[in-house]
């Protein structure tokens, strides 16, 4: 599960398709923490999750002889909860929160702190903050370089906690400094300044932030794409109908961005986007089996040059590997660089 499939979709576009992407980072992180004596076998590991991280943590704890407790987002469905149960993990699902990304994540983190006060022997994995989660992506970067070997590669993927695209950029650029990275954000995310943009009523779980995340390397990103649910869902359907790849919302957004990048740079190097999970948990919202087949509306992004110009349903900006700081109240874009 920690090893993705690299699939050639034609026209120089590839997808890194994972079964459960965060097994890649969690397995290496837990092994490292065990080796350093930070945690010990039999201890309870706890964290907040919108789905994939919690599933990954449960798998790894089962494998390595640890206990697991997850504070689950409203986005966690019965399929993931069933897997947590049979893997021996326990969980609490946050009530309410709706589509408000910030309130959902804030509530989960408060519950983690309360759990730690009541269970002082438990260890908080801090997927939002600890860059120990970077290390697992080194072998994925090595896979890409071995298979494609292009210095001009473009990597596309959700920003999330930073432990996927930020990590991949670090390991890819160690060999190929010219690798470009395009990050994807939902509107309403604090990480790249869209928290005041009206939400479209649906959280794209796992790729945005309602609170400050401390393990994002903002200077890793050449471009940022902000997308809403409709753009991402259309991408999922188009990806399935044209390539057979059945994947989740972040992959749908990645497919949209990858095709746009290919259209603007037809002679460039490979464009690789990341698919964090298959599409099963998104069927009701994205692939209703009883609904009509919907043609791809052929969305195109609005190119902006400042955060104040942000607009939906999709816009993109040359980020230029700039630093960025998310404060307690308002994010401040650093001017240097």
- Residue that finishes a domain, picked among 78, 94, 126: 126
Residues 169 and 312 in one domain: yes
Number of H helices, E strands in the chain: 9, 14
Please tell me the predicted confidence (pLDDT) of residue 254. 97
Taking the chain (337 residues) in consecutive chunks of 10 residues, what is each chunk's mean pLDDT? 93 96 94 96 92 93 96 86 95 68 72 92 91 93 92 92 90 95 93 81 71 90 96 95 95 97 93 94 85 81 96 96 77 35
Residues 195 and 175: their CA atoms lie apart, in Å, by 35
Tokens 């969305």, residue located = 299
What is the CA 302 to chain-centroid distance, rounded? 23
- Where does a domain end: 71, 96, 126? 126
| Co-location of 210 and 138 in the same domain | yes
User: Residue 304: inside a domain, yes or no?
Assistant: yes
> Across the chain, where does the E strand assignment appear?
5-8, 13-17, 44-49, 67-72, 90-93, 123-124, 154-158, 180-186, 223-227, 271-275, 302-304, 314-318, 324-326, 331-333
Asked whether residue 330 is assigned to any structural domain, the reply reads no
- Measured between alpha carbons, how far is 171 from 163 in angstroms, rounded to an integer? 12
Domain coverage including residue 154: 5-21+134-323
In a domain, 332, yes or no: no
Residue 202 near residue 285 (C-beta atoms within 8 A): yes
Domain identity same for 262 and 273: yes
Instruction: Based on the fold, state whether residues 35 and 15 are members of the same structural domain.
Output: no
Q: What is the pTM of this model?
A: 0.90
Specify the pLDDT at position 328. Answer: 58
State the total domains in the chain. 2
Q: Which residues, at least 6 apart from 57, have a Cβ–Cβ distance to it below 8 Å?
A: 22, 26, 45, 47, 49, 68, 70, 89, 125
What pLDDT does 292 receive?
74
pLDDT reported for residue 103: 63
How many C-alpha atoms does 251 have within 13 Å on its Cβ side?
Answer: 29
Tally of residues, the chain: 337
Same domain, 16 and 159: yes
Integer Cα distance of 229 and 329 in angstroms: 26
Q: What six digits make up the tokens of 144?
A: 């890409």
Among 297, 322, 310, smallest CA distance to 222 is for 322
What CATH number does the domain containing 272 carry? 3.40.50.1100
On whether both 30 and 11 belong to a single domain, the answer is: no
Final residue belonging to a domain, choices 77, 109, 126? 126
- The verdict on residue 35 lying in a domain is yes
Cα-based torsion angle of the residue sequence 301, 306, 312, 313 in order, rounded to the nearest 10 degrees: 30
Q: Which of 155, 158, 143, 217 is nearest to 180 (CA)?
A: 155
Q: Is residue 68 located within the same domain as residue 106?
A: yes
Are both 192 and 121 inside the same structural domain?
no
Does residue 148 lie within any of the structural domains? yes
């Amino acid at each position: 599960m920690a090893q993705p499939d690299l699939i050639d979709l034609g026209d120089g576009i590839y997808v890194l398709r994972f079964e459960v992407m965060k097994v890649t980072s969690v397995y290496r992180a837990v092994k490292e923490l065990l080796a350093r004596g930070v945690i010990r076998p039999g201890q309870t590991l706890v964290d907040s999750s919108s789905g994939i991280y919690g599933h990954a943590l449960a798998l790894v704890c089962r494998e390595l002889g640890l206990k697991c407790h997850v504070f689950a987002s409203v986005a966690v469905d019965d399929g993931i909860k069933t897997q947590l149960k049979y893997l021996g993990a326990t969980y609490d699902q946050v009530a309410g929160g709706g589509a408000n990304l910030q309130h959902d994540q804030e509530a989960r983190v408060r519950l983690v702190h309360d759990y730690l006060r009541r269970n002082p022997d438990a260890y908080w994995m801090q997927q939002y903050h600890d860059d120990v989660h970077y290390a697992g992506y080194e072998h994925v970067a090595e896979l890409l370089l071995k298979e494609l070997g292009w210095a001009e590669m473009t990597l596309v993927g959700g920003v999330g906690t930073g432990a996927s695209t930020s990590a991949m950029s670090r390991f890819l650029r160690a060999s190929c400094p010219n690798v470009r990275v395009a990050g994807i954000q939902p509107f309403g995310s604090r990480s790249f300044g869209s928290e005041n943009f009206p939400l479209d009523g649906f959280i794209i779980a796992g790729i945005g932030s309602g609170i400050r995340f401390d393990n994002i390397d903002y200077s890793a990103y050449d471009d940022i794409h902000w997308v809403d649910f409709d753009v991402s869902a259309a991408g999922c359907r188009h990806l399935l109908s044209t390539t057979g790849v059945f994947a989740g919302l972040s992959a749908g957004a990645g497919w949209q961005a990858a095709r746009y990048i290919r259209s603007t740079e037809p002679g460039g190097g490979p464009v690789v986007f990341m698919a964090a999970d298959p599409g099963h948990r998104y069927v009701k919202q994205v692939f209703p089996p009883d609904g009509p087949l919907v043609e791809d509306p052929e969305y195109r992004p609005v190119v902006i040059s400042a955060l104040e110009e942000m607009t939906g349903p999709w816009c993109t900006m040359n980020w230029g590997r700039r630093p960025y700081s998310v404060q307690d109240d308002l994010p401040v874009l650093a001017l240097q660089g």
